[in-house]
Structure 1
Amino acid sequence: MLKKFAKFSLPVIMAGCLTAINAPVQALETGDLLVRGRIININPSADSGNVTSSAVGGEVAGTEVDVEDAYSLDIDFTYMLTQNIGVELLLDLSSKHDIVGKGPTLSPLGTIIETRVLPPALILQYHFLPDSQFRPYAGLGLNYTMFLSEEATSSLDTGLGGVRDVELDSSFGWVGQIGMDYDLGNDLFFNLDVKYMDIDTTATFYSGALGNVSTDVDVNPWVFGIGVGKRFSF
């Protein structure tokens, strides 16, 4: 997936740089509002333990899970408190992710749960070169992640003798960010952005074979974004 994303990104980067040749530099100012739109790849570095089962009375061996990556769109609004410091409100569209069996017991079932993820975040940024055409930045903030429309797949339902009440807990964690804006002139700019999000959840459901089931999952995705933005001055 990352190779496909890089293959798509390279010509866009080159086109943006060519467009920006000889464009006048428009420095950031206090009170500016930066609005960005991006195509993003959400790439979890997931880790989990074995599931616990009320019927077994403890862990079930070979029942780890993994989370597949996905593409989506995001939009953010950054308000410049000073020429160097901004506050970003990140609003992604929800992305759909497959949770797959990883251990030898669950992996034959393939995708076991499908869910949508919505992770709004508030990030404090530092812009290193506000007067430059190339404007790198770094940020640190908080995210609140909601899991929506959780559903067991037919393979999990059949494999565990009927599954119901699938739920993934919401998560509150930190987010780190690095990125860059490249001034294209006329208050437009090209953007590249990378975030790491601290997202943990507990998945629970009931099955005929295992009773009440739960497992803790560290999702912790890298989010790679490419897009464009516009500066509004007031």
Structure 2
Amino acid sequence: MNKSMLSASLVALALAAPLANAFEAGDILLRAGAITVNPEADSSSVKVDQGPLAGADLGGKATMSSDTQLGLNFAYMLTNHLGIELLAATPFEHDVKLKGTALSAANGKLGTLKHLPPTLSLVYYPLDPKSAFQPYVGGGINYTYIYDEHVGSQAQSAGFSNFKAENSWGLAWQVGADYMLTDNIMINAQVRYIDIDTRATVENNSIAPGTRARVDVDVDPFIYMVGLGYKF
């Protein structure tokens, strides 16, 4: 075989190889990579809901920082085009800040919280299951478990304590794509939008005994993940 024929054969094999990389019913997909939660927080104003100042509107807004952790996806192919998927991750940690309130001591970093966002989705792959490139769309349900809330040192010095935030149920949507590098190994990229709503409360007995303020926050983050996967 001369060099031109050999080159043509190698090109043909390279083009044909992806056709063997099928997603089929019964396949198990495991993906892992860097996942970033970027809150698009929109909150109510801060209001006093307990104590002698109950009903007072302090104005302002709450914001939350982004965080990047290890993300994990577990998927099971129900058919050649339809799968069920669970999103998991190591705990995310966010700074919670208040700005623009009438109480100047409240403005700035209030504290931190952690959360876990397990999300169960139904995912649809529209292309030929033998294609190496597999875009997909999905939708499902999210439960956000919030824990380990802490008041920051500056807020503590201003008299704030007992920072709490409620857990959340909400809908989740995603788009993504896999590209098969071999019969089993893939690269993956995905973007999600999750409806997360929480109510945060914090106490301040230095203002008046029994004083508690609350703020309702639509966290509603966009979530980005890139990583590698393996098909079993």
Note whether the superposition's TM-score is higher than 0.5. Answer: yes
Matches of 1:196 and 1:107 in 2, distance apart? 33
Could you say what secondary structure the match of 1:61 adopts?
strand
Contact 1:66 1:100 (C-alpha < 8 Å) held by counterparts? yes
Moved more, 208-217 or 32-41: 208-217
The correspondence for 1:31, drawn from 11, 14, 26, is 26
Consecutive unaligned residues in structure 1, runs of 5 or more: 1-20
Q: Tell me, yes or no, if structure 1 residue 199 matches structure 2 residue 196.
A: yes
Moved more, 49-58 or 137-146: 49-58
Contact 2:91 2:114 (C-alpha < 8 Å) held by counterparts? yes
Higher alpha-carbon Rg: 2
Matches of 2:103 and 2:66 in 1, distance apart? 19
Q: Tell me the number of residue pairs that the alignment of Structure 1 and Structure 2 aligns.
A: 210
TM superposition shift of 1:103: 1.8
TM-score for both structures, normalised by structure 1? 0.85
Question: Which residue identity lines up with residue 216 of structure 1 in the other structure?
Answer: D
Report the equivalent of 1:226.
226
Could you say what secondary structure the match of 2:22 adopts?
coil
The superposition leaves residues 167-214 of structure 1 with CA deviations (integer Å, 9 ceiling, x where unpaired) of: 110000010000000010140000000000100001012112260111
Report the equivalent of 1:158.
157
Could you say what secondary structure the match of 1:63 adopts?
strand
Contact 1:63 1:106 (C-alpha < 8 Å) held by counterparts? no
Cα RMSD after superposing both structures? 1.7
Question: Which residue identity lines up with residue 24 of structure 1 in the other structure?
Answer: A
TM superposition shift of 1:52: 1.6
Moved more, 90-99 or 105-114: 105-114
Change (3 A) 1:149 1:125: same
Contact 2:47 2:59 (C-alpha < 8 Å) held by counterparts? no
The correspondence for 2:117, drawn from 115, 119, 122, is 119
Matches of 2:29 and 2:143 in 1, distance apart? 22
Change (3 A) 1:90 1:107: farther
Contact 1:50 1:59 (C-alpha < 8 Å) held by counterparts? no
Report the equivalent of 1:110.
108
Report the equivalent of 1:74.
71
TM-score for both structures, normalised by structure 2? 0.85
Q: Tell me, yes or no, if structure 1 residue 46 matches structure 2 residue 50.
A: no
Consecutive unaligned residues in structure 2, runs of 5 or more: 1-13
Report the equivalent of 1:18.
none
Percent identity of paired positions between Structure 1 and Structure 2: 37
Report the equivalent of 2:3.
none
Matches of 1:75 and 1:195 in 2, distance apart? 14
Matches of 1:176 and 1:107 in 2, distance apart? 38
